[in-house]
Structure 1
Amino acid sequence: MGEWGQPRDVDAAGLDSFVALGDSFTEGLDDLRPDGGYRGWADRLAEHLATANPRLRYANLAVRGKLIRQIVDDQVPQAIEFGPSLVSFTAGGNDIIRPGSDPDAVAEVFDSAVARLAATGAEILIGTGFDTRDTPVLKHVRGKVGTYNSHLRSIADKYGCRVLDLWSMQVLQDPRAWGEDRLHLSPEGHRRVALRACEALGVPVTEDWREPWPPLEEQSWRTQRIQDIQWAREFLAPWIGRRLRGQSSGDGRTPKRPHLERLCTTQATDTKRSADQH
């Protein structure tokens, strides 16, 4: 057993199937592909795994905006039916940020789902919440996120899960790690999280998620305030409006990769080329 009770490194070549469960974070917002679809850290992790086993099959059942109960009811049974060798499970963030939510109750639902997944014998990778101290609006729920993370650590110890520790990723405090909406990771943020996931699994990579960012160009106070106002108008107001109307950005949406299928050869090749050139 390694740090925090995690098992030793996995044999990436022995992983023949990977199913990702969750919400917008795992769906991949805001990491756009050239075709307009979303890539994201889970896709990137699958691509890293496919370099070790080109026959890897991968499904991504995550749908943006989903609450933990919806993920547990809709996605977990399908993952169990697939019987994959690896499951990533990140959920609860959309619950935690809601006013009046109870991180203890959310963790109980998470625990019950992990118990079901663990019973299949699959390797399980769970993700903690981000440190939201520098995030507009979400910095006010930082205490609840910290409480939830403590529960997730206990659950990981209980079931022998591997932990994708997002809270400790200080490189994500840089604004360039986030998209325009300041709620979802940028392509570079997703790339670093995928590398962190590889580290949690013990999968060798040639890049380092801790690599310092290039110096950030300073902006005037006026420029920053203009950007804040634009962000509030384009992203914050619509987000609040959906919450007040009881709507979700995921209403009516289906998973982007609903079946276990092999990755396109070009995706794995592009990942290796990127690593070689970085």
Structure 2
Amino acid sequence: MAFSRYVALGDSFTEGVGDPDPTRPNGLRGWADLVAEQLARHSDDFGYANLAIRGRKLDPILAEQLEPAMAMRPDLVTIYAGGNDLLRPKVNIDALMERYDAALGKLVASGAHLVIWTAHDPKASRMYQPLRGRFAIYNELARELAEKHDATLIDFWRLRDYHGWALWADDRLHMNSFGHQRMAIEVLDRLGVEHDLAKPVVTEKPAAPRNEAIRTNLFWIRTEAAPWVHRRVTGRSSGDTVSPRRPHLAPVE
């Protein structure tokens, strides 16, 4: 496939959190930038926009990003939405996916080819493992939507490279730079786009001694988990003061 107008929608996953680059907008790179750079090699007039903002749930993503995206008349749209909803105490997954379905239908009707995701398998995380059933329900519905809209599906759940921690950032929620590169490769391969990205070679770290593991977990609770819970309790989001990294279609530099 060849594309010339690519728009990326979503939350922190698509914004690029976990893959820092101080030279880029919001200080991030991420898998979507890597995909855009490779797509640009196959088009003489390529434009890329990234409207994703960290912390966004599905409804704000659709309310804030859908119409601006369609106004750019993209021929490729990537969207991963709903992950933050699954982490909330209560969520109606069926209703959530009905709204997602309607939005995807609008994007397809505008002429865009879609790339969508399932959620990853959280079995390696003690914190997120209790939500595994939610993730599985979301995933089956996402697979149905991919079939309905003839979308390219990235089945994150089945990507076993992500089942350990080697491709995850220290916050245990976002992919690290290796993880973003691995995801970019998956997207390009599923689209059938030639690229020169090398699959990162990483190894799982051996289990730390008990005392060290306890210190690491306490540090994570203090610096990552507690602030996340505080934002939930106070109704705030990590993206409240964040703007889209690339709000307009522009060439890839």
TM-score, reference length from structure 2:
0.94
Q: Which residue of structure 2 lines up, in the alignment, with residue 270 of structure 1?
A: none
Distance 1:104 1:215, change over 3 A: closer
Q: Which residue of structure 1 lines up, in the alignment, with residue 81 of structure 2?
A: 91
Taking the TM superposition and a 5 Å limit, the aligned residue runs for 1:27-66 are: 27-35=15-23, 37-66=27-56
Q: Which residue of structure 1 lines up, in the alignment, with residue 110 of structure 2?
A: 120
| CA shift for structure 1 position 136 | 3.6
Q: Which moved more, 1:94-103 or 1:48-57?
A: 48-57
Cα distance in 2 for partners of 1:166, 1:197 equals 11
Q: CA RMSD of the aligned region, Å? A: 1.5
Cα distance in 2 for partners of 1:114, 1:25 equals 18
Q: Which amino acid aligns with 1:227?
A: T
Q: Secondary structure of 1:176's match?
A: coil
Cα distance in 1 for partners of 2:207, 2:83 equals 31
How many residue pairs get aligned? The number is 251
Within the candidate set 262, 268, 272, 2:251 is matched to 262
Q: Secondary structure of 2:141's match?
A: helix
The C-alpha deviation readout for 1:72-99, integer Å capped at 9, x for no partner, is 1110111111001100011000111101
Within the candidate set 157, 160, 163, 1:167 is matched to 157
CA contact (8 A) 1:128 1:167 kept: yes
| CA shift for structure 1 position 206 | 4.5
Cα distance in 1 for partners of 2:44, 2:167 equals 29
CA contact (8 A) 1:103 1:145 kept: no
5+ long unaligned stretches in structure 2: none
Q: Which amino acid aligns with 2:148?
A: K
Q: Which amino acid aligns with 2:4?
A: D
Q: Secondary structure of 1:52's match?
A: coil
Within the candidate set 56, 64, 69, 1:74 is matched to 64
Within the candidate set 235, 238, 246, 2:235 is matched to 246
| CA shift for structure 1 position 205 | 3.1
Cα distance in 1 for partners of 2:45, 2:212 equals 49
| CA shift for structure 1 position 174 | 2.6
Distance 1:215 1:129, change over 3 A: closer
Cα distance in 1 for partners of 2:131, 2:44 equals 41
Cα distance in 2 for partners of 1:187, 1:160 equals 30
5+ long unaligned stretches in structure 1: 1-9, 265-278
The C-alpha deviation readout for 1:162-198, integer Å capped at 9, x for no partner, is 1111111111123121111111110000000010111
Q: Which amino acid aligns with 2:164?
A: D
CA contact (8 A) 2:124 2:164 kept: no
Q: Which residue of structure 1 lines up, in the alignment, with residue 173 of structure 2?
A: 183
Cα distance in 1 for partners of 2:167, 2:204 equals 14
The C-alpha deviation readout for 1:218-254, integer Å capped at 9, x for no partner, is 4212212211110001000000000011111111321
Cα distance in 1 for partners of 2:161, 2:45 equals 33
Q: Secondary structure of 1:75's match?
A: helix
Query: Does residue 196 of structure 1 match 2:186?
Result: yes
The C-alpha deviation readout for 1:88-121, integer Å capped at 9, x for no partner, is 0110001111011121111111101001001011
TM-score, reference length from structure 1:
0.86
Q: Which residue of structure 2 lines up, in the alignment, with residue 225 of structure 1?
A: 214
Q: Which residue of structure 1 lines up, in the alignment, with residue 202 of structure 2?
A: 213
